[in-house]
């Protein structure tokens, strides 16, 4: 083993898939890319922990409005996702610039992204760790999937501007003896 610089640790555990966070500031929709997220609770109302930095315009909007949509893009949107994560909603209308379609959500004012495979309408469940870690815990209040979508491969950030695309699926359900309830979902 050779020492790995601590600054590179995240490159090996960054979870992905890269998501889009859609927000709405007084009716003005915006998008950012986000790969720092984790599932906290999957039973009942799902809880998702997200790291949004104060340098993001979306951070301010989410903190203020307390709601957003997490949209799950597939590999065909990869270039747009990276460009979305490299400009600011302060001076760019990202839906227009990247030819994406905002669709009214049911429970939140932030829009769904029509071109994405899955859209999760979310509200802030807990913001007590924002100041310490920029960690916002969201609860999913409504979820949508596009069943017609053929492309379903997601993109995972390797932490350095390169991405891994979903590939082969391993079926190890017969080994999930302790967690069989998951294999029946
Ligand atoms: C692949 C990728 C992943 C990103 N992940 C995050 C993240 O997890 N958290 C974050 O705060 N910013 C992340 N960013 C940066 C934001 O997307 C970026 O700051 C964006 O321009 C913010 O847009 P806004 O100012 O309109 O909100 C990521 C960018 C890229 C390209």
Taken in order of first residue, the domains within the chain and their CATH numbers are 6-183 (2.30.110.10)
Ligand 1 pocket, residue 82 CB under 6 Å: yes
Provide the residue-wise pLDDT of the chain in tens; the chain has 185 residues. 999 889 888 888 877 899 999 999 999 999 999 999 999 999 889 999 999 999 999 999 999 999 999 999 999 999 999 999 999 999 999 999 999 999 999 999 999 999 999 999 999 999 999 999 999 999 999 999 999 999 999 999 999 999 999 999 999 999 999 999 889 87
Query: Distances from the Cα of 69 to the Cαs of 24, 126, 156, 158, 181, in angstroms?
Result: 9, 16, 19, 23, 28
The CA distances from residue 151 to 102, 157, 170, in Å, are: 20, 18, 19
Q: What is the pLDDT of residue 57?
A: 98
Q: Is the CB of 116 under 6 A from ligand 1?
A: no
Q: Is 30 in the pocket of ligand 1 (CB under 6 A)?
A: yes
Establish whether residue 78 lines the binding site of ligand 1, counting it when its CB lies within 6 angstroms of any ligand atom. Answer: no
**Nearest atom, ligand 1, residue 90 CA:** 26
What are the φ/ψ torsions at residue 180 (nearest 5 degrees)? -65, -25
| Count of C-beta atoms within a 10 Å radius of residue 130 | 18
> 90: alpha, beta or left, given left = phi > 0 and alpha = psi -120 to 50?
alpha
């Amino acid at each position: 083993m050779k020492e790995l610089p601590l600054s590179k640790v995240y490159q090996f555990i960054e979870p992905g898939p890269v998501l889009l966070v859609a927000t709405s500031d007084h009716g003005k929709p915006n998008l950012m890319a986000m790969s720092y997220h984790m599932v906290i609770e999957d039973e009942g109302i799902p809880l998702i922990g997200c790291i949004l930095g104060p340098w993001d315009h979306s951070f301010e909007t989410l903190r203020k409005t307390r709601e957003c949509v997490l949209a799950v893009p597939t590999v065909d949107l990869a270039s747009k996702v990276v460009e979305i994560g490299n400009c600011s909603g302060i001076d760019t209308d990202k839906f227009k610039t990247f030819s994406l379609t905002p669709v009214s959500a049911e429970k939140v004012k932030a829009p769904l992204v029509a071109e994405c495979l899955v859209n999760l309408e979310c509200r802030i469940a807990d913001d007590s760790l924002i100041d310490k870690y920029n960690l916002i815990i969201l609860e999913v209040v409504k979820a949508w999937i596009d069943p017609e979508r053929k492309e379903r491969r997601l993109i995972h950030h390797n932490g350095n501007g390169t991405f891994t695309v979903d590939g082969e699926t391993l079926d190890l359900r017969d080994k999930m003896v302790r967690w069989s309830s998951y294999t029946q979902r």
